[in-house]
């Protein structure tokens, strides 16, 4: 028993002694694939194009959908986040990684549609270091829907039109 505890302590101290850059950091893409049903490859900025013909895409948030962010000078690889809850037409809660701090996982944080057209093409996202929504809007492509959300949306459309 003592040997196991000592071995665990040594492993922990070794990890803590590593320089921060040597420790593995969870990226947004890996985290989105891990917790969500949308399984795509590439950087966050690539997911929108890579989803074409594989997953339905659109402008309306749904739980389980992935919000795909465009690449910018501040965020050259783009970003992806999984919708955990739709609060109203302009507010959602998301789960994502690597936004407020490198490798940090954030669950149930606010994202707000600030686009003039209400189409989720510009959002502000909760930023941990300031304890508020980010100051600059981030451009997005829209939402990528997992197969289960696509089937639900098709059923809703059929009921409405039928």
Over range 126-150, report the average pLDDT: 92
- Residue 1, pLDDT score: 54
Confidence (pTM):
0.78
Over range 10-16, report the average pLDDT: 39
> Tens digits of per-residue pLDDT, 30-67?
999 999 999 999 999 999 999 999 999 999 999 999 99
> Tens digits of per-residue pLDDT, 70-81?
999 999 999 999
Over range 110-133, report the average pLDDT: 97
Q: How many whole angstroms separate alpha carbon 140 and alpha carbon 138?
A: 7
- Residue 29, pLDDT score: 98
- Residue 67, pLDDT score: 98
pLDDT at 20 > cutoff 50: no
Q: What is the mean pLDDT of the chain?
A: 84
pLDDT at 83 > cutoff 50: yes
Better-scored residue on pLDDT, 132 or 152? 132
pLDDT at 109 > cutoff 60: yes
Domains of the chain: 25-161 (3.90.1720.10)
């Amino acid at each position: 028993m003592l040997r196991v505890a000592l071995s665990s302590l040594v492993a922990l101290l070794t990890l803590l002694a590593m320089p921060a850059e040597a420790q593995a950091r969870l990226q947004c893409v890996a985290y989105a694939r891990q917790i969500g049903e949308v399984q795509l490859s590439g950087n966050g900025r690539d997911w929108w194009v890579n989803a074409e013909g594989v997953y339905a895409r659109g402008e309306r948030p749904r739980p389980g959908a992935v919000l795909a962010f465009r690449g910018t000078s501040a965020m050259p690889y783009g970003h992806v986040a999984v919708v955990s809850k739709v609060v109203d037409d302009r507010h959602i809660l998301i789960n994502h990684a690597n936004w407020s701090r490198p490798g940090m996982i954030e669950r149930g944080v606010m994202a707000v549609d600030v686009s003039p057209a209400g189409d989720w093409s510009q959002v502000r996202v909760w930023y941990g270091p300031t304890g508020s929504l980010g100051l600059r809007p981030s451009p997005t492509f829209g939402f990528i829907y997992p197969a289960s959300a696509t089937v639900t949306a098709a059923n809703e459309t059929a009921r409405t039109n039928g």
